[in-house]
């Protein structure tokens, strides 16, 4: 019996922590779900960031906070890892009647996952509209149908994540955006790129400045004063500036840079 418990505990730990070597200077890199999130998106995020002039490490850190490394139920359903609100004529995730596991508080939306639990293990709740843009195909976006679409089409989820980043770069960090925080962020970026070139997008202090510019104040990406601190903590503890820099400037693979 004790042997069985011991074996199960090891298996559970292996799901949380990476058995591979990682840079101990960045303590978040020991988690498998962190590595998997960045491994899927980092190279394409760098490419999009260079194309549209946004700091890639900051984008990855913001996506980590907003989506829980892609594990939040809204991000899983919609592909919206940056929690971008739906603009006019864009479909948003509606109110959903979903259960959470009483013991773990995890919110379930996939019918196969729900079926694994007994009625007494779940608590159902009507959840408010998320107001977030739904990146599922047009025929199901904005509906309660096929909430597990991206679970069954992981290639499409990745495409949705990248479109989400593209929207952030072009529609939000834009001179056309009504809120001053976003206009000023775009002005700051273009001014610095004109002076220093695109290499400034990989500068750690510049990434931090960008994060502080768009958050922690009224009428910004996130008004909570704690938000920039959380994002910068992930930036530092995951080594995202170092990761993106080594992939871009030294042409390293993700695994080599990690």
Q: Average pLDDT for residues 96-121, to the nearest whole number?
A: 96
At 24, is the pLDDT very low, low, confident or very high (cuts 50, 70, 90)?
A: confident
Q: What is the model's pLDDT at position 3? A: 37
Instruction: Give the percent of the chain with pLDDT over 90.
Output: 87
Q: What is the model's pLDDT at position 15? A: 46
Q: What is the model's pLDDT at position 23? A: 76
Q: What is the model's pLDDT at position 9? A: 43
Q: Average pLDDT for residues 103-118, to the nearest whole number?
A: 96
Instruction: Give the percent of the chain with pLDDT over 70.
Output: 91
- Residue 10 pLDDT > 80: no
Could you report the per-residue pLDDT of 28-77, keeping only the tens digit for each? 999 999 999 999 999 999 999 999 999 999 999 999 999 999 999 999 99
Q: Average pLDDT for residues 89-109, to the nearest whole number?
A: 96
How much is the pTM? 0.90
- Residue 256 pLDDT > 80: yes
Q: What is the model's pLDDT at position 233? A: 98
Bridge-based pairing state of the strands 96-101 and 122-127: antiparallel
Structural domain boundaries of the chain? 15-83+150-257
Q: What is the model's pLDDT at position 17? A: 55
- Residue 89 pLDDT > 70: yes
Q: Average pLDDT for residues 103-111, to the nearest whole number?
A: 95
Higher pLDDT: 90 or 22? It is: 90
At 198, is the pLDDT very low, low, confident or very high (cuts 50, 70, 90)?
A: very high
Mean pLDDT of the chain: 92
Two tokens, residue 193: 């790129």
At 20, is the pLDDT very low, low, confident or very high (cuts 50, 70, 90)?
A: low
CA distance 24 to 21: 9
The CATH T-level fold of domain 15-83+150-257 is Lysozyme (1.10.530)
Q: Average pLDDT for residues 9-26, to the nearest whole number?
A: 57
Two tokens, residue 214: 């768009």
- Residue 16 pLDDT > 60: no
Higher pLDDT: 21 or 147? It is: 147
CB atoms within 10 A of CB 149: 20
SS (H, E, C) 70-133: CCCHHHHHHCCCCCCECCCCCCECCCEEEEEECCCCCECCCHHHHCCCCHHHEEEEEECCCCEE
């Amino acid at each position: 019996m004790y042997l069985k418990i011991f074996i199960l505990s090891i298996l559970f730990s292996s799901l949380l922590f990476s058995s591979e070597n990682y840079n101990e200077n960045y303590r978040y890199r020991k988690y498998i779900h962190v590595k998997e999130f960045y491994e899927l998106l980092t190279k394409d995020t760098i490419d999009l960031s260079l194309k549209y002039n946004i700091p890639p490490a900051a984008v990855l850190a913001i996506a980590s906070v907003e989506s829980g490394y892609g594990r939040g139920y809204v991000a899983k359903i919609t592909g919206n890892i940056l929690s971008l609100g739906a603009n006019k004529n864009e479909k948003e995730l509606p109110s959903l009647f979903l259960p959470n596991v009483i013991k773990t508080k995890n919110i379930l939306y996939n019918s196969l996952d729900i079926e694994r639990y007994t009625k007494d293990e779940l608590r159902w709740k009507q959840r408010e509209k998320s107001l977030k843009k739904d990146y599922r195909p047009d025929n199901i976006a904005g509906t309660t149908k096929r909430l597990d679409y991206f679970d069954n089409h992981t290639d499409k989820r990745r495409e949705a994540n990248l479109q989400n980043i593209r929207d952030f770069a072009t529609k939000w960090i834009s001179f056309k955006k009504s809120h001053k925080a976003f206009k000023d962020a775009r002005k700051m970026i273009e001014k610095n790129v004109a002076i220093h070139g695109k290499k400034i997008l990989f500068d750690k202090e510049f990434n931090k400045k960008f994060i502080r510019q768009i958050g922690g104040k009224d009428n910004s990406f996130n008004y909570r004063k704690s938000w920039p601190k959380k994002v910068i903590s992930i930036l530092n503890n995951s080594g995202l500036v170092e990761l993106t820099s080594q992939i871009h400037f030294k042409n390293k693979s993700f695994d080599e840079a990690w």
